[in-house]
Amino acid sequence: MAAGQDLIELKFRLIDGTDIGPQKYSPSTTVQSLKEKILAQWPKEKENGPRTINDLKLINAGKILENNRTLADSRNPVGELPGGLITMHVVVRPPIADKKNGNYVYVSQDAVLFFFQPEYLQLCWNLGYIL
């Protein structure tokens, strides 16, 4: 197999429907590395952008991807076409105001996400249903 065929083509769909990418990545690329690239390419004109990679969640085929996993570990072969473009959803953890001292804190709970609609992703995050 040629080197170019081993690469995985990804684009990242933001909550407002805009995309970052597409770009090709090695299967050994970690989710953390993808988040670093997204952070570096984040559109500067967007409000409430992520400050760190911990503010980002990547979702592929309904699963939240773990930072220490690789693309090869995280792929869902069902429904993927060889050489096809994969769209991953990006959700930004919104800051929540702490009423006591006016700082921003992050609230997290264990949860599983089973749907893809971007308008629901942000709502569920705001309600604390997803990390």
Pairing mode, strands 85-92 and 8-13: parallel
Cβ(71)–Cβ(29) under 8 Å?
yes
Quote the pLDDT of residue 114: 40
CATH number at residue 66: 3.10.20.90
Quote the pLDDT of residue 98: 47
Residue 102 has pLDDT above 60, yes or no: no
Residues 6+ apart with CB under 8 A from 121: 15, 59, 89, 91, 113, 130
Residue 82 has pLDDT above 70, yes or no: no
Residues 6+ apart with CB under 8 A from 85: 9, 10, 11, 22
Residue 41 has pLDDT above 60, yes or no: yes
Its pTM surpasses 0.75: no
Cα separation, 122 vs 120, in Å, equals 6
Preceding amide of 77 cis, omega within 30? no
The SS3 assignment for 108 reads coil
Q: Which amino acid, one-letter code, is at 100?
A: K
Cβ(40)–Cβ(53) under 8 Å?
no
> In total, how many domains does the chain have?
1
The domain in which residue 113 lies consists of 3-127
